[in-house]
Structure 1
Amino acid sequence: MENDPVADRLSAVYPELPPGERAIVRVLLDDYPFAALGSLRALAERAGVSPPTASRLFDRLGYAGFADFQAAVRDGARDRSRLLEFVTGAPGRGAPDASSPGPPGASSPGASSPAASSPGGDGAGAPEPSGLRRAAEDLRAGLDGTLASVTDPLLEASAALLAGADTVWALGGPLSELAAEYLIRQLASLRPGAHRVPGSAQARARTLLDLGGGDVVVAYDFRRYSPDTARFVEAARARGARLLLVTDAWESPLSAAAQVLIRLPREAAGPIAPLAHEIAVTELLLVATAARLAPAARLADLEALTQSL
């Protein structure tokens, strides 16, 4: 839904909305545009709110009712993923085609160079960035925004949880589980008692048996939010475990249960799901935790054991 004006508007107003209307926006964006194309009652039921609450959202957005909103969705939505847009050369975001400028220094037969078309070398007439260059710029800008959003107080609170927990358990969704795996691999070098949440229901149940108030669960939860992650976290919270949640700008439904909430900004996006941003945040968490633990002796033991095996 890249560059879809209705989806962009929903994303922009989300932080300003009351909880019920936020729930409607989450449903719409999780299954966009299809969630918008049913009845108002069905949409409200999916979000767990009343139809009048849903109606208020569309009034707030300036539509003349839900039908007017649906018409705007039909006009503006494009049934394609960001990655499909990129590889098929969608305007302003796609991969280069035969008419796109190539890398710096390259030229097509018969084409004049940027210098030749802009006397004096002042940049006039310079080609637009290629699709790949644009993607790199978007990734850099998103990464900058992500790192800026993780403030010192957030890092300190996160490090206190990760360093002081009896045991740290981490889990994620289909892609963000890679960030959870990276966190645990590195954290296990810094302190004992760092584990991935197992995958099967039986193994998760055995894990929950021993969870308590001294334990911390780190969950990476991004749209589409994982029901499996939610079930485990809710069960762990019921047994007293604390939650460090890394999520997106639209916020996982688990946000209200988090002791520490790290919310990546809207700009952390690109043609492919931005795992780089999740890993970058994880790196910051690990550095902050290492500063609290002073793990030099443990790391030296680990290096000696590695050399002996």
Structure 2
Amino acid sequence: MPRLARAVTRSAARPLRQGETVLDRVQAAMTDLTPREALAGGHLLATYPMAGLGSIGAFARGAGTSPQSVLRFVAKLGFAGYGAFQAALKHEVAAGLQSPLERLTAASTRRPRQDDFLARFAARVAQNMATTFAQVPRADFERAARLLAEPRRRLQVLGGRFTQTLAHYLALHLDIVRGNVLRPDAQADAWADRLADLGRNDVVVLFDIRRHSTTIGRFAEAATARGADVILLTDQRETPSTPHARIVLTAEVRTEGTWDSTAALFALAEALIARVSALAGPKLEKRLAAIEDLRDRLRAPAPPGRAED
């Protein structure tokens, strides 16, 4: 490593604060990077954290820049070198594989904090929201919304143990907005029945966050093999479904405590609902009017002299 690069990395070294991630550092530094350093930062954001887990040469080639620019980028993040940067990423990956029990045990060994827990938690959720909506590629979001807005294409939505609720919420709304939606089936044994009917006219939306489901990954693979377009809503880690998804939209879910927060993922789903509704245009108004009329008819009392079943 050149002497100047070694001096820069040593002088800029800053340990990560409690709860801070490499991703936090990258997002905070982006506006201060040179164009070539920004290539490294953008590549890491787009592939987080995978690009940083390989060699510096592979990182530089993927980013379209030089290893020296990657080193300067790493230095501006506050790491003493590429090795320290990689070690921080690997620690995050290992932490991402922890169970709730392991996270709770780790949290209980930390020094108790005396500040306002609710305010601190709210600030973290707000940060998750801001991070999520800042990093979502606009073109990918629009492509996903337009796929979901096409009523001729049947839609299937599935989620994991905790994200099944988000899948059901999305399906309920889109069934009103556009129809032709198959709601989530909680029984994974029934998913093969869904796969048997999939074809090129189908769109599949999958929700999956850590600890990522291999079953959902296999569903994504099989759905893609049958010609369906898969949209994946997930966290910022590589999942078994990622290689099989046409569009991947990620949300920040990490918190300091035992459990991840799905608030930003939920908001991303709501943004899709809002955009699909906007794309429906006047057709949505007519559809909603028809639905309300039918609801009124179903609620109306039976005519005199006719007994209800």
TM-score interval, normalised by the smaller of the two chains: 0.5 to 0.7
Shift of 1:216: 0.6
Of the three residues 137, 142, 149, the one matched with 2:135 is 149
| Contact residue 44 and residue 51 of structure 2 kept, 8 A | no
Shift of 1:11: 9.6
Shift of 1:265: 4.1
Shift of 1:238: 0.9
Of the three residues 150, 158, 163, the one matched with 1:171 is 158
What do the CA deviations read for 1:94-150 (whole angstroms, capped 9, x no partner)?
6x6xxx3xxxxxxxxxxxxxxxxxxxxxxxxxxxx4122111111111112222223
CA distance in 1, matches of 2:234, 2:285: 31
Q: Secondary structure at the match of 1:218?
A: strand
| Contact residue 149 and residue 265 of structure 1 kept, 8 A | no
> Structure 2 vs 1, CA of residues 16 and 303 (structure 1 numbering), >3 Å: closer, same or farther?
same
What do the CA deviations read for 1:181-203 (whole angstroms, capped 9, x no partner)?
11001110111111234243552
Superposition RMSD in Å: 3.8
The aligned counterpart of 2:244 is 257
The aligned counterpart of 1:134 is 120
- 1:1-309 alignment to 2 at 5 Å? 8=21, 16=44, 22=50, 62=83, 81-82=102-103, 88=108, 90-91=110-111, 100=114, 129-164=115-150, 166-265=153-252, 269-271=255-257, 272-294=259-281, 295-307=284-296, 308-309=298-299
CA distance in 2, matches of 1:82, 1:304: 51
CA distance in 2, matches of 1:300, 1:282: 24
The aligned counterpart of 2:73 is none
| Contact residue 155 and residue 284 of structure 1 kept, 8 A | no
The TM-score, its normalising length taken from structure 2, stands at 0.61
Partner amino acid for 1:22? M
Percent identity, aligned pairs only, is 30
Shift of 1:151: 4.2
The TM-score, its normalising length taken from structure 1, stands at 0.61
> Structure 2 vs 1, CA of residues 168 and 265 (structure 1 numbering), >3 Å: closer, same or farther?
same
Partner amino acid for 2:145? A
Any gaps of 5 or more consecutive residues in structure 1? 26-59, 101-128
CA distance in 2, matches of 1:243, 1:149: 20
Count residues in correspondence.
Answer: 227
CA distance in 2, matches of 1:253, 1:23: 17
Shift of 1:80: 5.8
Q: Secondary structure at the match of 1:62?
A: helix
Any gaps of 5 or more consecutive residues in structure 2? 1-15, 27-40, 54-80, 300-309
Partner amino acid for 1:141? Q
CA distance in 2, matches of 1:183, 1:306: 21
Shift of 1:257: 2.1
